[in-house]
Amino acid sequence: MSDFLPEGLRIVHEDRDLIVVDKPAGLLTAGEPGTDVRSAFREIKKYVREKVKRRGTQVWIIHRLDKEASGLLVFAKTEKAFEWLKEQFRTKRAHRLYAAVAEGLVGTGAGAHSGTIQSFLFEDDDGVVRSEAGPIRRDASGKPLRTEGKLAVSHYRVLASGKGRTLVQVRLETGRKNQIRVHFQYLGHPLVGDRRYGAATDPIDRLCLHACELGFAHPATGQTVRFTSPPPPAFKRLVGSKSDGAHEPAEGESPSPQPLVEHLSVTPLRSTAKPLPEGLAAQAAPQPGDQSWDHVAGWYQHLIEERGSDHHERVILPGVVRLLEPRAGERVLDVACGEGSLCRRLAALGVSATGVDAARNLIATAASIAPPHNAPPPEYHTADARQLESLGLAPFDGAACVMALMNIEPVSLAARGVAALLRPGGRFVAVILHPAFRSPGQTSWGWARESDSPERPIPMRQDGPPRRTPDDRKRRPGKHQRRPHEQIAPEAVRQFRRVEGYLSPSHREIIMNPGAVAKGKAPITTITYHRPVQHYVHALAAAGLCIDAMEEWASLRTSERGPAAEEENRIRREIPMFLAIRAVKVARSG
């Protein structure tokens, strides 16, 4: 059966829906459309056609490996399998694990045997990918360039080190072009043999990167399947380890896909942030390298403490306390606590509250505000929400994260940290902007006539109901004819929420000071990350947190009297603004 394949390209699995192959280094995954260069894709198409002896047989490409890398690839043999597999890779459900050898000793600090690399990747005109801390590239004057970076997250674990090199295992949370190679260059440890991205050595005449595990749900059965390919024995020899060619899990590692991150010990990751109030969320652009909300702490304090936030006071905080069900004497952790409003509310109930935030200015503000009713003051710590285990705090009975998870990336680290600090049975409550209806830049309000049929284009306006048309005025004689700009009666229009995207994770830069920017001041920005609900569910489940309640909360604001007020109030109650999730730490047996 493999007689039709070139040397080095090995079939790992084949059925009527798909084919999994082990690609050798030096072979393209696929050439550019319209070209006929030698590639794994071309060879697999030839193999399938020769096997079935039928012209017109098709094969579909699902994902790629760099030409210089080796390892596992899956191709679809039916259109149904293609759509199924492509969706799994797009929504990050597919499991991919890599082995690589990096120059130098990676993770030499305390507890640095694993870590996360997060940055934004930009591809230059020459095809070289570059890594930067922020998603917007700027010229020498600070003016934003047109290219926008793509968020990339890689998790790694050190397997062995020696001879001035490190063997690592890498799991991708995103799958960008050259991601692993660029990230290890960004870390200061380019992969052995990777001259394109700064390697100084090439002892085995190849890039030391191999795709060793590939898992996904099978398109025919829905069952999870997993395929493995041992990394080349030379990878272990490069670090002075004995090798029998087998892929050996690290000590204590499960053969099933487990999060590879235990300590955040590598690149600086963007820290906890709060979302903007309604009305600012659709405006955009962040400060590269900004690590916390210190640069907007004064603005946020003014919003919450002086002007107040009706969403927080009337909807969010009461809802969090209700779901959290705190009892006097319990210990509760507030993750990304900001200026401490939830901590003070919990303290007033007799709860021992502890707040954590990455912004020192916000923590200083929180500590300076006395709790009400002579309650004991909460305890505050300045720390990254993705490094909660490093605080060494005693276990908590409950935890909360209010309007901040969508500003933490990767969210899996925060979930694991919360789970590590909760007692078995402890509750965790998280509130976020509703991903389906309130995603900045992907959702907006619109108006349509009640009489509009699905066959007719909907006349939409973002700033209010549709205006009357000449036909409307003909049906309403008298003074209405003399007022051509009058809005039609409220009962004749309907407001709706427009959703332009949901399943694809994305990020958006938010300008915190749009008024000042309009006057020529430099923008102060932060980043919000859009993720579908399933992303949060998976992160919590992987951390050992079982969801037992989910609620959707609407805004309680009301419009001033006017022709559109009734409809605006109706739709405001129908389309939720916030999503609240409660999860309980599962007590592990044994």
Task: Report the run of H or E that residue 48 belongs to, with start and end.
Answer: helix 40-52
Tokens at 285, concatenated: 């652009």
Torsions phi, psi for 312 (to 5 deg): -65, -50
Phi/psi zone of residue 245: left (φ > 0), alpha (ψ -120 to 50 degrees), beta?
left
Marked catalytic residue, from 22, 66, 357, 472: 66
E strand or H helix at 506: strand 506-511
Name residue, tokens 């004991």: 376
SS3 500: coil
CA–CA separation, 35 and 42 (whole Å): 10
Burial level of 86, CB count in 10 A (0-12/13-18/19+)?
middle
d(CA 481, CA 404): 51
3-state secondary structure 224-259: EEEEECCCCHHHHHHCCCCCCCCCCCCCCCCCCCCC
Cβ–Cβ < 8 Å for 240, 162? yes
Residue 191 carries which DSSP code? B
Extract the tokens encoding 471.
């036909």
Neighbouring CB atoms inside 10 A of 192's CB total 29
In angstroms, the CA 23 to CA 41 distance is 10
Whether residue 334 lies in the annotated active site: no
Strand bridging mode 10-14 / 18-23 = antiparallel
Tally Cβ neighbours within 10 Å of residue 21: 24
Enumerate the active-site residues.
Answer: 66
